[in-house]
């Protein structure tokens, strides 16, 4: 893996959508439409974050969209600019979203990932997600199954992943 990029993780704004859509189209076979992202920005239970390069704050290099409901977090969309993949952007976005969820009492995280997306599955597994099932023909455009993954954000996981890497999550309260 290459050297990690210096990043700023910030809430997604409406004016970020053109850059987010560029990454979305480069990353997904059946990309979300602009209206999907715009709607997510209005949902009170949604957390939508972008990763910007610290030395060029105008450049968005990734994003994540999650919902916080009760004590669960559902990860709906995570994508990184193909030019900067495998440099820690997806991991930072995911851990930042999980930290925010944890501070709001989330204790379980769930997601679906294409069965053929082995790089994403590896990322999720290194953070502690485990496969929990399969949804046949989940992705319309390609009729590919989704691997269901879940993460129990217990005390051991929190102390390993959130406390040990909390230095870059300035201002976040501990969970």
Q: Per-residue pLDDT tens for 51-103?
A: 999 988 889 999 999 999 999 999 999 999 999 999 999 999 999 999 999 99
Give pLDDT tens digits for 95-110.
Answer: 999 999 999 999 999 9
Active-site residue, from 40, 112, 125, 165: 112
C-alpha torsion angle, residues 9, 69, 120, 5 (rounded to 10):
10
- pLDDT band at 138; cut points 50, 70, 90: confident
Q: In what order do the strands lie in the sheet with 108-114?
A: 7-11, 46-53, 56-69, 72-80, 108-114, 144-152, 130-139
Q: What is the pTM of this model?
A: 0.89
Those residues whose C-beta lies under 8 Å from the C-beta of residue 78, and which sit 6 or more positions away, are: 62, 63, 64, 65, 90, 93, 94, 120
Give pLDDT tens digits for 29-41.
Answer: 889 999 999 999 9
What does the radius of gyration of the chain's CA atoms come to, in whole angstroms? 15
Active-site residue, from 24, 40, 63, 124: 124
Residues 74, 45: Cα–Cα separation, whole Å = 11
CA distances in angstroms from 168 to 28, 59, 93, 95, 164, listed in the order given: 28, 19, 11, 10, 10
Q: Which fold would CATH assign to domain 7-168? A: Aminopeptidase (3.40.630)
Q: DSSP 3-state assignment of 88?
A: coil
The reply to whether 72 belongs to the active site is: no
- pLDDT band at 167; cut points 50, 70, 90: very low
The reply to whether 112 belongs to the active site is: yes
């Amino acid at each position: 893996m290459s050297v990690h990029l210096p990043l700023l993780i910030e809430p997604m704004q409406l004016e970020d959508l053109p850059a987010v859509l560029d990454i979305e189209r480069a990353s997904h076979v059946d990309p979300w439409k602009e209206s999907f992202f715009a709607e997510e920005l209005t949902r009170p239970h949604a957390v939508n974050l972008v990763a910007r390069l610290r030395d060029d704050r105008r450049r968005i290099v990734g994003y994540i969209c999650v919902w916080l409901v009760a004590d669960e977090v559902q990860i709906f969309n995570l994508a990184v600019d193909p030019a900067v993949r495998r440099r820690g952007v997806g991991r930072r976005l995911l851990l930042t979203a999980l930290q925010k969820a944890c501070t709001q009492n989330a204790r379980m995280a769930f997601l679906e990932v294409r069965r053929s997306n082995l790089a994403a599955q590896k990322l999720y597994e290194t953070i502690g997600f485990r496969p929990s099932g399969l949804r046949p023909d989940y992705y319309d455009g390609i009729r590919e199954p989704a691997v269901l993954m879940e993460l129990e954000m217990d005390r051991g996981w929190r102390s390993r992943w959130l406390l040990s890497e909390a230095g870059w999550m300035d201002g976040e309260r501990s969970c």
